Structure 1
Amino acid sequence: MTTNLMQQIRSHTDTNNQPHVMGTQEQRQQCLVPVQDRVMVLQQFHDTLGSGHPGIRKTKDLIKRYFWWPTLAQDVRDFVGSCSVCARAKHSTKKPVGLLQPLPVPEQPWSHITIDFIVELPPSNGFTTIMVTVDRLTKMAHFTPIQGLPTAAQTVSLFLQNIYRLHGIPESIVSDRGAQFTSRFWRCFCRALGISVDLSTAYHPHTNGQTERVNQSLETYLRCYTTYLQDDWPLYCALPNMPIMPDYTIPLVVLPSS
């Protein structure tokens, strides 16, 4: 089968353009396949009875024993990935996807909030970080420029100055697993006030996706309006009605018929 395939490919190749690869020792033993014959080679090593519809790696290894072309790996991935027979006949070996468990919708404004930090910003008056606090119901947010990543004690101080002073004590705070949120000091502080500490899953920022989306919009906004020196971004964090805010109230406008 392979010999006949090689002879057929060589018959399609100009004698002045030898179908051998001048490269590594392995490539010198392989036949260079012209563009018009590559699909035929893929079908021969994947679709036939003798091949048995192998996976991407096995199909590529089988072909590389005899043939080669520059885009072999990508062509094998595309060909095997689009094989309808494999899609129908093979079962998935991946773990089953868990059920989506979104955070419950709060009933009152600022009763459930999220806190995150945007770090490593260009220094401006000593500020390099923004503390982002979002109300999960109204989507209203506070952006507080701070000097570096805060400790647990500094986070408590920022919370009291910027959140508690304006909105009172929330029922829960969703955050990542940063050192300031997993510390005993922060946990004891929240326990004393009756605040539930909800930490996101490790290496899974989608848990706090609402805040991550706000972070993205804020960063885009700052890039659009800061000077070329990027040293005036704290001024825009203090604006009372930032243009990015209305975007997060639009999904709440739902007609009763919907």
Structure 2
Amino acid sequence: MVIQRIVEAQVHDEFLEKVKAQLVAGEIDENWSMYEDGSVRFKGRLCVPKDVKLRNELLADAHRAKYTIHPGNTKMYQDLKRQFWWSGMKRDIAQFVANCQICQQVKA
């Protein structure tokens, strides 16, 4: 499952490890939290580590979801931001959609 892989990959992310240390020390604002499974969350959303392969997999899954095939930037961002967070997420989504041949062909 991708969520379990994200939680496991958080351990290897330098930024998220710093956030964890600050959470333990109580030195960070209330937007950040750590769940029982050890995962770091921002405003309740799972933080995706700086792992290009993992992020691309999430983007591909969201872009080719059964009920929202090729949703476009805004819809895809709204769908992903319900569960996940990473720095530059909106930019990454825009770049992913811009590189999709089908989306570019269908675009009016």
TM-score under structure 2 length normalisation: 0.65
Give the C-alpha shift of residue 33 in structure 1.
Answer: 0.6
1:174-214 per-position Cα deviation (integer Å, ceiling 9, x unaligned): xxxxxxxxxxxxxxxxxxxxxxxxxxxxxxxxxxxxxxxxx
Equivalence map 1:19-38=2 (5 Å): 23=31, 27-36=42-51, 37-38=54-55
Q: CA deviation at 1:51?
A: 3.3
Q: 2:66 aligns with which of 27, 43, 49?
A: 49
The amino acid that maps onto 2:6 is: I
CA distance in 1, matches of 2:94, 2:59: 11
| Alpha-carbon contact 1:45-1:62 (below 8 Å) kept | yes
Please report the TM-score for the alignment, with normalisation by the length of structure 1.
0.30
Q: Find the aligned partners of 2:107 and 2:93 in 1 and give their Cα distance.
A: 20
Opposite residue 50 of structure 2, the aligned amino acid is: V
- Return the alpha-carbon distance in structure 2 between the equivalents of residues 14 and 7 of structure 1: 12
Aligned to 1:78: 95
For the 8 Å contact 1:44–1:51, the answer to whether it is kept is no
Matches for 1:4-19 after TM superposition, within 5 Å: 4-14=1-11, 17=17
State the one-letter code of the partner of 2:57: M
Equivalents in 1 of 2:92, 2:81: separation in Å?
Answer: 13
Count of paired positions: 86
Higher relative contact order (CA 8 A, sep 6+): 2
SS of 1:12's partner is helix
Instruction: Within 5 Å, give how 1:109-258 maps onto structure 2.
Output: none
Using the alignment, how far apart are the partners of 2:107 and 2:101 within structure 1?
13
Q: Give the residue type in structure 2 aligned to 1:83.
A: C
Q: Cα RMSD over matched residues?
A: 2.8
1:28 alignment partner AA: K
| Structure 1 alignment gaps of length 5 or more | 93-258
1:60 maps to what in 2? 77
User: Structure 1 residues 7 and 79 mapped into 2: Cα distance closer, same or farther (>3 Å)?
Assistant: same
Structure (1 or 2) with the greater helix fraction: 2
Larger Rg: 1 or 2? 1
Shift of 1:24: 6.9
Structure 2 gap segments, 5+ residues each: 21-29, 34-40
Distance 1:57 1:24, change over 3 A: farther
Query: Take 1:34 and 1:50, find their aligned partners in 2: how far apart are those partners?
Result: 27
Identity %: 25
